[in-house]
Chains A and B, each alone.
Chain A
Amino acid sequence: MTTFQLNGHDVQTGEEERNTPLIYILRSPSIGDMTPKLGCGLEQCGACRVLVDSEAVYGCTLPTSAVQSRHVETAAGLDTPVRQALIEANATQCGYCLPGIIVTAEALFRTNPHPSRVEIAHVLDSQLCRCGSQPRVLKTLTELARK
């Protein structure tokens, strides 16, 4: 059995799901948090990213047992200035990459509230966007970092 917190709520999963990557557990009907997205399953695109104790990790490969007693946060639970700023600026196109970007940017802003554009871009290199929303994302987050 694995017990963890998801966006502040206690969650338990069965023993047989210890090795199931976390994303499938989060997206399963019993939890139903659809914000982590499957993009590649290969740790290459970042669409699946979630926070585990404030660190951004790949939900597509992380075994569920690894989050035992830890705090998992997803874009669904991150009602933060980062998420708000990106939504308000329409800083996305199709939006498929957006939850992963929110999660990864959030991890950065928690440790460094005033990152530069270069620092933001460097951290977001784990996140692919095919639609070309990056200039808008970088602009929005750079402005947020100045506040």
Chain B
Amino acid sequence: MKALPPGLVSTPSLDRWIGLSENRKIVAYTGKVEIGQGLLTALRTIVAEELDVAPESILVVSAHTGHTPEEGVTAGSMSIETSGAALRQASAWARRLLIDDAAARLGIAADQLAINNGEITAPGINESLDYWQLYTGSFNFEIRALTPEKSPDRYRLVGHTGQSRIDVPAKATGAAFVHDASAELHARVIRPPSLNHRLTGINAEVTSPGELIVDGSFVAVAHPHEFKAEQLAMTVSANATWHRLDAPEANFDIDETRRVRAAAFPILNGTPTLTPPTPINTAHRASYSRPFLMHASLGPSAATAVWRDGTLTIESASQGIEPLRLVIARALRMEDANIEIRHIAGAGCYGHNGADDAAFDAALIALALPGRKVLLKWSRADEHGFEPFGPAMRMELGADLDDDGHVLTWTHDVYGFTHVSRPSPHAPGVDLLAARLLQQPLSHSPPVPRLTPEVGIHRNALPIYAFDTQHVTKHFIADSPVRTSALRGLGAQGNVFAIESFMDELAHFSGTGPDVFRRRHLGHDTRALAVLDAVLESCGGLTGNRGLGLARYKNRQCCAAVVVEVSVDENTAEIQVPRLWIAADAGRVIDPDGLRNQLEGGAVQALSWCLKEAVTFDTEGVVTSRDWESYPILRFSEIPEVETVLLDHPEMDPVGAGEATVGPTSAALANAVFAATGLRVRDLPMTPQCLRGVAAQ
């Protein structure tokens, strides 16, 4: 028997999830937010399916403190699993309560009744009732046990394409983002060169109606006109002087000095442990790395805030408005109840970007300008310079093979910095950028190693394969030279890049085809085998310039196989990717179109990371990749044609998929480059310069 979804355990009141409104609509409440992957549309489909109404009659209300269920952070490809499961069960209860009521009123057994678009009828009876006639303003019901849900074989919406995204028309034609919110004042912040710098002074005057806000080294300006605010920020910035606190950070590598200082946590039964690691020497060894990466949202972080009548009201694109509220309350020494946060979409964020920091910036500015609503936007240069970066990683792999090309021993040591520094009420510090810049600075939390399965650095460090002996160890480096946090896939991208590259290297060594070698080690993992078969069938086989990558996200969510085809220019050493194939098994498919979009988006983003991206620094420790020229990403003419195959399992629960393709794509690309050129690239990104370096070795 299945358990009650956790969301319903913490918020059992049905009215917190489902309500009926007078205009024949059904309102579904979720604590999760739309991050550009069609989540709200998928949740709407689930509710419409369960209640047997048209999707158009459902209004989804998302993340608003005090109004929607508390569901923490939208992250880790978990929202369909968690909020979807809670809303599905809540909808099933709503349907049951309404139909039982109808049965009593009509004097007919509930199982004789049919529902069509909220209209309840029975054969041979003219009288009918609808949901809205039956509903009395609330359900007044606590969900304490499971009620049967609609059986998947009766689905008419879930699993079928053709659902238009609810958020898209407004995004194409009008105002839809927090950046578009109305406000009395436009605000900009003026940042120091790095977080290791503090304000010495500002030699600029600001004349009314502009405002200058200075609190320690937190500097901001506000003006009723946006362009004037921008100009004011430039003037203040040009006249501000800063000094460095400590010696500049010069080392941005995971080099030997950092590796020896790392804390080691061997992973046993999936969990990092304090057991001393056993050094193991293997015949085959390879070391892989990735640099610091950016989320680099297309729209710089933004938020609104107003401080009025003792209440601070914030509009933010944060993925976790509830924890954000608690942390801001603590930072400002305010009562939680006096802060209200409503989620409004931002540009795609792929993890923990500057959205939370911007909310705090806006709050600080609003407190300095009581009664006036401010809309704060970061500049492009600050977005690129101060977002929490995706951490650099190094993966050292080793293996012994028997004479038949079977892996006997497998070792994987992954080194890196924290992937988890979202603001949290459970963390000791205030993990919001401006906190450390204030006159009375608030300290941020020291990074701590996470010792639960599949988090951060060791996400997907365990191979999907059934090796006889394996030693997987997480090595946590506390002293990151820059602020780092969650970026799409967390450690999974680096780990899968390394595992799947190494599998290719071993296959090559043992003279076996990459697909055959993988199959040999997949054991009875029928779902992974099916995904592998599907991608090979779709692309027609691994010909000379193609590479393969395979993984199951977090070793329990979406299983994805990717084939990448490359062409490498012999003169320029530039890699082009004309085609890419994906096959994926995400359990029950709720919205095939949305699922494809997520898988493809992840693949394209991973190609961009691997081909082009690396955060760069100068000798003062200042980020130098501050625009799209110094931090290039993939452009349209570099985009492959993508084919995606979905393996639907209506009988299984759905699992998230937004992060499933980043690892397999990264490795497939490296493997394709090897297939095409014989060059094995182990350090990302695969720029022409890097490829020439490998060729010169």
Binding site for B on A (CB under 8 A): 20-21, 24, 27-29, 32, 34-35, 37-42, 44-45, 47, 75-76, 83, 86-88, 90, 92-99, 102, 117-118, 120-122, 124-125, 127-139
Contacts and interface: CB of A to CB of B under 8 A. Distances in A.
Given A90-B164, A96-B177, A121 B639 contact: yes
Interface stretch (B57-65, B297-305, B387-395, B563-571): B297-305
Given A40-B627, A45-B628, A132 B600 contact: yes
B594 interface: yes
B298 to A, nearest CB: 5
B176 interface: yes
A90 B593 contact: yes
A117 B597 CA distance: 19
Interface stretch (B35-43, B401-409, B477-485): B35-43
Contacts, number: 172
Nearest to B227: A24
A50 B434 CA distance: 35
Given A35-B174, A87-B169, A95-B172, A131 B299 contact: no
Contact of A47 (B164, B298, B348): B298
B636 A131 contact: no
B167 interface: yes
B297 A130 contact: yes
A93 B167 contact: no
Given A87-B169, A95-B36, A37 B641 contact: no
Contacts of A35: 172-174
Contacts of B379: 41
Query: Secondary structure of the B side of the interface?
Result: loop
Contacts of A76: 173-174
B380 interface: yes
B164 A131 contact: no
B599 to A, nearest CB: 10
Given A76-B173, A102-B172, A132-B605, A94 B226 contact: no
Contacts of A136: 597, 600
B640 interface: yes
Contacts of A139: 641
A94 B601 CA distance: 11
A133 B633 CA distance: 13
A38 B511 CA distance: 53
B171 interface: yes
Contacts of A118: 637
Contacts of B38: 90
Contact of A21 (B227, B295, B627): B227
Contacts of B37: 93
Contact of B173 (A29, A38, A75, A125): A75
B602 A132 contact: yes
A138 B642 CA distance: 10
Given A34-B176, A44-B380, 5 more contacts: A40-B627, A95-B167, A96-B297, A125-B637, A132-B608
Nearest to B41: A90
Given A90-B168, A133-B601, A24 B35 contact: no
B22 interface: no
A121 B350 CA distance: 24
A89 B76 CA distance: 26
B299 A47 contact: yes
B2 interface: no
- Which of A76, A132, A138 is most buried by chain B, counting CB atoms within 10 A of its CB? A132
B348 A96 contact: yes
Contact of A130 (B165, B172, B347): B347
Contacts of A88: 164
B298 A129 contact: yes
Nearest to B226: A24
Contacts of B349: 94
A132 B172 contact: no
B348 A94 contact: yes
Interface in B338-371: 345-350
- Which of B176, B227, B379, B640 is most buried by chain A, counting CB atoms within 10 A of its CB? B227
Contact of A44 (B300, B594, B628): B628
Nearest to A17: B227
Contacts of B377: 38
B299 A38 contact: yes
Given A38-B300, A45-B298, A97-B298, A131 B172 contact: no
Nearest to B643: A135
Nearest to B165: A90
A135 B641 contact: yes
A135 B639 contact: yes
Contacts of A37: 177, 179, 298-299
Contacts of A117: 641
Contacts of B608: 132
Nearest to A19: B227
B382 to A, nearest CB: 12
B105 interface: no
A9 to B, nearest CB: 16
A101 B605 CA distance: 18
Contacts of A130: 295-298, 347-348, 350, 605, 633
